[in-house]
Structure 1
Amino acid sequence: MKISISMYSLASTLRRESWRVTEFIEYAKTISLDGVELLDIYWQNPANKDEEIKGIVENLQRNNLEVSAYDITNNFVHQKKIERKAEVEKVIEGIRVAKELNANTVRVFCGDIREGLIYEECFDWIIEGLKESAKIAEQEKIVLAVENHGLLAGKSLQIHEILRAVNSPYVKSTFDTGNFLLVHEEPTKAFDRLKQEIAHVHFKDFREKHTHESVKGFRSTEGKELIGVIPGDGKVDLAYIVEGLKKYGYQDWLSIEYEGFEDAKMANEEAVRRLRKLLK
């Protein structure tokens, strides 16, 4: 298995030090990673990113790093068909960019809770969007890896249902180890259900917020607040998941995604050390 870090893991550093993608790549090289996970939200000029991509590809080659996944922030939960079509176009553009970056995985979302809608009411929209997107993914040999993200479609059974309904070898799972806690599902049980569908892994952890803390955490489906922590300091049994991946023969990426309040560089570097130890 190979180790990468999501650029989102350094969100506080990006803001504080005004990092661009190139600075993030240079940092990743200093901590001896195998690759980086890039996001559509971090382009300097999103409307005209081709020149930036060329420079990033050169930077990646110079530093001997790969792109573990290219993440897009799509949302298929729209009542109007024209709006859902625009989200499909966003995924298709993500596939194009992934090809330019020599990545074979695009991380995608299903959508967010809105306007009082529930998962069952949005299911057909999600399937419609993923099936349309999968047509291009199959042509380009790019895997669309659906993340268990947010409170709408964050449970393993929901992800399993979605993948079965789309029924494409190029639509798989981005298994986010921490996000299951936001929907009050035990991550180890989620792993047992989805292990055959995993194409990408987010190595992440949460703990419950203490009553005296003033920081704002992530609110769960039951209204509890969870705080991002260095993997291993929270509620996720990461050793179980890593051992399960080994047993199942998973050979792809484990990508660290830290969402806490400690110094991001320190937190990510410690996460890398812990993950390497688990992989031995």
Structure 2
Amino acid sequence: MKISISMYSLNTTVKKEGWTVVDFIEYAKGLSLDGVELLDIYWKSKAKDQEIIQVIEAIRNNNLQVSAYDVTNNFVKESSKERALEVAKVEEGIRIAKQLGTSIVRVFCGDLHENVTYDEGQEWIVEGLKKSAILAEQEQIYLAVENHGLLAGKSRQVDEIIRKVGSPYVKSTFDAGNSLLVHEKPQDAFDLLKNEIVHVHFKDFREKKQSEPTSGFRSTLGVELIGTVPGDGQVDLPYIVEGLKEINYDGWLSIEYEGIKDDKSSNEKAVQRLRSLLG
């Protein structure tokens, strides 16, 4: 298994210091990682061509790989025109992933909102993924659905969506931490999705203490969770890593820190923790 870090793990620093994608890549190289996970939200301009060329050069110069390219799509739109724009966003992500040399595009599904039923939302998600999968299959790029939100937060929801789409190139980004936000044991979520996993987010949360003034992430039952260095929270990470070994997973483990402490030092600890678990 190879170790990567998501640019989102450094989101506070990225915003505070105005990092470009190349700045992040150079930081990641200092951690002696195998790769980096990049996101569509961090491009500085809409015309990405020149930035992509610079990123490809930085990846090559720093002897890294791109583990995944993340698209922040949302298929739960009420008009067919809006949904078509979301498909186009994913298709652009597939083309960029191809340029960056990764076979993984992390995708979202979308979330429930007023006037949309669960069945309607899922129907639009499946429709969007089926359309996006046409290009994904042609380019041999996996669309890796992250367990995220109310329509795809639980493992059974992700599993049902993958089965309904029915494409060999629509699989799972398994996010261990996100399971806690929908009150599902990460071990149970992993066991259900393990045969669909092509990408892993190495993430963890803990319950917020009453004395803490900061705000965290609210679960579906209103419990407030705070991001932690993986291993300091409620996720049984050794179980996940050992389970991946058992199924001979040889893909990416990508660190995604979403805590309140200094993100540079927290990510450095996370890398050490993951290396220790891998042995």
TM range, normalised to the smaller chain? over 0.9
Letter in 2 for 1:23: D
Is the 1:151–1:182 contact (alpha carbons within 8 Å) kept by the matching residues of 2? no
2:170 equivalent in structure 1: 171
1:231 equivalent in structure 2: 230
SS in 1 for 2:109: coil
- Residues 18-37 of structure 1 correspond to what in structure 2 (within 5 A)? 18-37=18-37
Is the 1:151–1:220 contact (alpha carbons within 8 Å) kept by the matching residues of 2? no
Q: Which runs of 5+ in 1 are unaligned?
A: none
1:266 equivalent in structure 2: 265
The number of aligned residues is: 279
Q: Does 1:4 align with 2:14?
A: no
Evaluate the alpha carbon distance shift between residue 118 and residue 213 of structure 1 in structure 2; reply closer, same or farther with a 3 A threshold: farther
1:198 equivalent in structure 2: 197
1:152 equivalent in structure 2: 151
Shift of residue 15, structure 1, vs aligned partner: 1.5
Is the 2:76–2:125 contact (alpha carbons within 8 Å) kept by the matching residues of 1? yes
Q: Which runs of 5+ in 2 are unaligned?
A: none
Q: Which 10-residue stretch deviates more, 208-217 or 58-67?
A: 208-217
Is the 1:118–1:152 contact (alpha carbons within 8 Å) kept by the matching residues of 2? no
Shift of residue 116, structure 1, vs aligned partner: 5.0
The two structures, once aligned, show a CA RMSD in angstroms of 0.8
Identity rate, percent:
66
Shift of residue 114, structure 1, vs aligned partner: 1.4
Shift of residue 18, structure 1, vs aligned partner: 1.4
SS in 2 for 1:226: strand
Is the 1:208–1:224 contact (alpha carbons within 8 Å) kept by the matching residues of 2? yes
Give the TM-score taking structure 2 as reference length: 0.99
Separation in structure 1 between the aligned mates of residue 117 and residue 247 of structure 2, nearest angstrom: 34
Separation in structure 1 between the aligned mates of residue 117 and residue 217 of structure 2, nearest angstrom: 19
Separation in structure 1 between the aligned mates of residue 38 and residue 248 of structure 2, nearest angstrom: 25
Shift of residue 246, structure 1, vs aligned partner: 0.3
Is the 1:143–1:170 contact (alpha carbons within 8 Å) kept by the matching residues of 2? yes
Separation in structure 2 between the aligned mates of residue 262 and residue 150 of structure 1, nearest angstrom: 24
Give the TM-score taking structure 1 as reference length: 0.98
Is the 2:111–2:121 contact (alpha carbons within 8 Å) kept by the matching residues of 1? no
Is the 1:9–1:259 contact (alpha carbons within 8 Å) kept by the matching residues of 2? yes
Separation in structure 2 between the aligned mates of residue 91 and residue 103 of structure 1, nearest angstrom: 14
Q: Does 1:254 align with 2:253?
A: yes
**TM-superposition CA deviations, 1:192-229 (whole Å, max 9, x none):** 00000000000000001111111111111111111100
Separation in structure 2 between the aligned mates of residue 254 and residue 24 of structure 1, nearest angstrom: 18
